[in-house]
A and B are shown apart, each in its own frame.
Chain A
Amino acid sequence: MKKEFLFVLGLAGTLMAHADDYPYLTFLDTNGTEQSVVATGLVITFSDGQMNATDNNGKVTTISLSDLKKMYFSSATSAIDSTGTEEEAKDSEVEVFTLAGNSLGKYEDIRQAKTALQKGVYVVKHSHQTLKIAVQ
């Protein structure tokens, strides 16, 4: 019995290691500015001197190739740009992610999300805007 438990623990350990798959692809431009996009389902194409990164939700991040220095997988987002406020999101359907980029589902509005979520820090997306929230 002990052996079986140790075996499952080992497998679970492996699972946790894979859970460290990089949630973001971060682009660094020649000015040192970083931009991170969610890696899951990301598609990158090139046209007219531009790099276009389209995420799972259809959001496109465009960077000029002449400005692009490198890209790399990353575990943390490069300071998520809060492009919106809780007030702006109060009447909108939102999707909640962990900081690691795992989706926790959609909620009617941010208030409902906060009610449902446990204590912690989350990333909330709505209407192409992103913000960080903390649930106390």
Chain B
Amino acid sequence: MKKYLFLISILVLTLTASAQTLNVVVGNVTYQFPATQAGDMTYTGSTQLTICGKKFNIADINKIYIDNATVTDNEVTVAYESTSAKVTVAGNVAQYVAPIVTGAHVGIIQSNTEDVDGNEITYSLSGTSSDGEFYLKGSYKCSIDLCGVSLTNLTPVHSGAALHIQNGKRINISVKKDTENSLTDCASPSDDMAQKAALYVKGHAEFKGKGTLNVYGRYKHAIKTGEYLTIKNCTVNVKQSAGDGINCNEYFLMESGAIALSNIGDDGIQASIDDDIDATAETNDHEEENSGNVYLLDGTISGTISTAAAKGVKSDGAMNISGGAINLTVSGGGAIDYTLDSSGNPTTTFSSTSACSALKSDGDMTILGGTLKLTATGAGGKGLSGDGNLYVKGGDITVKTTGGIVYYSNKTLATTTSSKTTERLASNYKSSPKGIKFDGNIAISGGTISVTASYHEGIESKGTIDITGGTIYAQSSDDAINAASHLTINGGTTCAYSTGNDGIDSNGNTYIKSGIIYTIGSSSPEVGVDANTEEGYKLYVTGGTIVAIGGLESGAQLTQTCYQLGSSSSGGNRPGFPGNNSSSSWSKSTWYALCSNGTPVLAFKTPASGGSALVVSTSGTTTMKVSSSSNAITVDETIWNGMGSIGTINGGAAATLSTYSGGQGRF
């Protein structure tokens, strides 16, 4: 019985699928008026026919016919077919929509200034044209549905963009599920057709839908909005851009979805402050916001950008990352920035050098979550950089920089892998390939950070550095972690490994208060932990579980007792200097365990066999163990690139410690 009822239902549904429709054909445009809506269709003066408020010149009408087409209110469909396009307009919005169709170049003037029948107008685009465009001018919000449309604009009629929405309101760009769409702009438009992007929206654009959008910006940006831009669910592949991949004003917000960047001529994603209106900070629900902020809530951003001095993601304001996955490589080299004249054009006067950065914020950067894998391979390139402060509260961050330093010399750019070459240059004359570099303060309270910088510092702040949590590994050729002002470690687990300078350094005071710290300085006079003793500052050790290879800065105040591996040095000699007779020695790739009150609290391996002092300290009674062939130290899990463990630590034979009363570093 149920089967029969089902069949009857299907039959009835089929019978009800059609609806009586009056179609008015004007060129390539068909206006569809449901019979139930048509009402009185009036003829005026033998020349005009008015239906549902739409006035037709009778001379323009090719024909009128009645069929059973189904009409969706508020919908305009554009079906591209090679060199032509067919437009159908729902009757209830016909009076508000004036299409101009030239081949496959469709322009629409939309005149409503409020909802029509309780809703906005939706434009559904489909089909393919190798020389077409969609141009919309209006002053009320609307939706653009991309339903498997592929447009290349070869010979612009309205604009050089493939999709140009000259409408300053909220525009939904819905990339329909299971569709692939492609937009390519004109490569060489005339001046009057010159477009800002292949996909341009004058107002604010909200990208949504579970489909795929490929964009080729051959002339300037791939995607540009005059106001904010949000992305949810959809996949946006920027396949080419002469300028930025995505450029917007006010703010950029990615809620979910995927953005892939390739063949980018400038920055991957840039959010700017709109100079035409007042700037704001972040606002409630982003209402009326003009902050230049970037918000990355979830989704993925990936790609490689090879342009000199380009940024993967750049914000005029702050950058807030709370989830998602970012996998970006910037491979371009440095560039010279010149001063600008009153018209904004560069002169021949040198201003500064600039270099790439995977993520760059002009304001603060806050990382609450997400997985970030950032690589910079060109000279001067950085992983994370900003003019403001950095707050890391969560997330899994991996940064790798392998380029050398780029600097201005003899009116050109030069590169070097030695920081000694450029250390006396003013900051605007050089760009250094630091892993993480912020002009403001850095505060790390959570998350996992792994930084490797081949030719400069791992983590640098031009202000203070405060570490209160998180797991940090920094390996570099220069200071692994450096603060231009004070540096404080009061929590977390930190490994700072320098192959050419201090492990941890500050140009102010350095405070070690708590946390687990494993720091490795290179050969003397570099130390494990340094402070700016030369200018009257000091290192203060008041707590923590500490291993410092290379010892501690001279003159350090050691409130918590420190020890060194091996017996004490004999008079006058400083370990690490010629003639040092400290018996500190250790072997590479051997596990050592630091114990507090008899309990192992940290196991570590050293990157090289020993030389200068290996200093240790814990808050309890401090002892050490070393692996031997008969009594190996075992660990269950490792951190810091396999160099440490704070898990279950067993085994080992007692190692000799002697008291450590002072710094061994340079004076």
Q: Report A's interface with B, CB cutoff 8 A.
A: 1, 4-5, 7-8, 11-12, 14-15, 18, 21-22, 25, 39-46, 49, 51, 65-66, 68-73
Contact = CB atoms under 8 A, between A and B. Distances in A.
Interface string B124-164: 00000000000000000000000000000000000000000
Given A7-B9, A11-B13, A73 B63 contact: no
B64 interface: yes
A70 B41 contact: yes
A49 B18 contact: no
B65 interface: yes
A72 B52 CA distance: 12
Given A11-B9, A42-B65, A43-B64, A70 B58 contact: no
Q: Main SS of the interface on chain A?
A: mixed
Contacts of A68: 43, 46
A4 B2 contact: yes
Interface string B33-66: 0010011111100110000000000110111111
Given A39-B35, A46-B58, A18 B16 contact: yes
Task: Report which residue of B13, B61, B66 has the largest number of chain A beta carbons within 10 angstroms of its beta carbon.
Answer: B66
A65 B58 contact: yes
B414 interface: no
Interface string B1-35: 11001001100110110111010000000000001
Contacts of B46: 49, 65-66, 68
Given A72-B40, A73-B20, A44 B65 contact: yes
A4 B5 contact: yes
Nearest to A50: B46
Query: How many residues of B sit at the interface, in one of the four size bands?
Result: 20 to 34
Contacts of B38: 72-73
Task: Report which residue of A7, A43, A68, A73 has the largest number of chain B beta carbons within 10 angstroms of its beta carbon.
Answer: A73
Contacts of A25: 66
Contacts of B13: 11
B44 to A, nearest CB: 9
A50 B648 CA distance: 97
Given A15-B12, A18-B19, A21-B20, A69 B63 contact: no
Given A49-B46, A71-B41, A73-B38, A8 B8 contact: yes
Contacts of A14: 12, 16
A8 B43 contact: no
Contacts, number: 78
Interface of B: 1-2, 5, 8-9, 12-13, 15-16, 18-20, 22, 35, 38-43, 46-47, 58-59, 61-67
B42 A69 contact: yes
30 contacts: A4-B5, A5-B5, A7-B5, A8-B5, A15-B15, A21-B35, A22-B35, A39-B35, A41-B65, A42-B65, A43-B64, A44-B63, A45-B62, A46-B58, A46-B59, A49-B46, A65-B43, A65-B46, A65-B47, A66-B46, A69-B43, A70-B40, A70-B41, A70-B43, A71-B41, A71-B43, A72-B40, A73-B22, A73-B35, A73-B38
A41 B23 CA distance: 11
Given A1-B1, A14-B16, A73-B22, 20 more contacts: A8-B5, A8-B8, A15-B12, A15-B15, A18-B19, A21-B35, A22-B20, A39-B66, A42-B65, A43-B63, A43-B64, A44-B64, A44-B65, A45-B64, A49-B46, A51-B43, A65-B43, A65-B47, A68-B43, A70-B40
B16 A70 contact: no
Contacts of A4: 1-2, 5
A8 B15 CA distance: 13
Contacts of B18: 18
Given A1-B1, A65-B58, A12 B65 contact: no
A40 B66 contact: yes
Contact of A12 (B12, B59, B66): B12
Nearest to B38: A73
A49 B47 CA distance: 9
Contacts of B67: 41
A30 to B, nearest CB: 9
A25 B39 CA distance: 11
Given A65-B46, A70-B40, A45 B19 contact: no
Contacts of A43: 63-66
A63 B18 CA distance: 30
Nearest to A9: B12
A1 B5 CA distance: 10
B231 to A, nearest CB: 40
Given A45-B63, A70-B41, A73-B35, A11 B16 contact: yes
Nearest to A5: B5
Nearest to B59: A46
Nearest to B39: A72
Q: Which 9 A-B pairs have the closest CB atoms?
A: A65-B46, A11-B12, A44-B64, A21-B20, A68-B43, A73-B35, A70-B42, A4-B5, A43-B65
Contacts of A18: 15-16, 18-19
Contacts of A5: 5
Contacts of A51: 43
Nearest to A10: B12
A8 B61 contact: no
A10 to B, nearest CB: 9
B41 A8 contact: no
B13 to A, nearest CB: 6
A6 B514 CA distance: 74
Contact of B9 (A8, A22, A65): A8
A132 B412 CA distance: 98
B623 to A, nearest CB: 78
A21 B12 contact: no
Task: Report which residue of A7, A40, A43, A71 has the largest number of chain B beta carbons within 10 angstroms of its beta carbon.
Answer: A71
B70 to A, nearest CB: 11
B600 to A, nearest CB: 70
A45 B2 CA distance: 49
A71 B46 CA distance: 13
